[in-house]
């Protein structure tokens, strides 16, 4: 039960960190027009029994910051399908303090970027509560 609590707290902490980072990007980020240079494809193994895994596609972006700096970076938000094409013009949201932290600024990309960490928080809290309940029920 203690392991369940610790794993839950770890997941919640990871989710909280990622959520905070994403909320700060949404609040302090700058929006510019950029170009998709290409799509990185990376294999991710399955997460559970019967899961075979699959590719995650992440766009590689090129844009110029408001300060005039030319940036090429890979988005932190990937998907199970490419979603974008090389040469496509897109709106980019980047962190002015660290311009290589950038994402495509569409509703679907931002929804994934915001919701996935929150799911980690909720799942982590759920595991921790289940572990606490298990300990108290002894």
| Residues of the chain above pLDDT 70, percent | 91
Least Cα distance to 120 among 50, 62, 47 occurs for: 47
Least Cα distance to 23 among 98, 91, 118 occurs for: 118
pLDDT for the residue 61: 97
Distance CA 104, CA 31 (A): 9
Domain boundaries, the chain: 2-136
Q: Encode pLDDT of 44-73 as tens digits.
A: 876 666 677 888 899 999 999 999 999 999
Contact 117, 77 (CB under 8 A): no
The stretch 11-31 carries a mean pLDDT of: 84
Is it the case that residue 102 has pLDDT exceeding 90? Answer: yes
pLDDT for the residue 108: 67
Distance CA 23, CA 97 (A): 15
């Amino acid at each position: 039960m203690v392991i369940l609590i610790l794993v839950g707290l770890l997941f919640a902490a990871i989710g909280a960190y990622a959520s905070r980072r994403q909320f700060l990007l949404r609040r302090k980020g700058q929006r510019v027009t950029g170009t998709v240079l290409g799509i990185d494809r990376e294999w991710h193994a399955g997460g559970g029994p019967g899961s075979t895994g699959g590719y995650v596609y992440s766009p590689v972006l090129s844009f110029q910051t408001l300060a005039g700096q030319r940036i090429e970076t890979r988005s932190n938000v990937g998907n199970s399908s490419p979603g974008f094409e090389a040469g496509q013009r897109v709106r980019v949201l980047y962190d002015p303090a660290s311009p290589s932290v950038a994402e495509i600024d569409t509703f679907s990309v931002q929804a994934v970027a915001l919701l996935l960490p929150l799911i980690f928080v909720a799942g982590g809290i759920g595991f921790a509560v289940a572990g606490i309940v298990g300990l108290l029920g002894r």
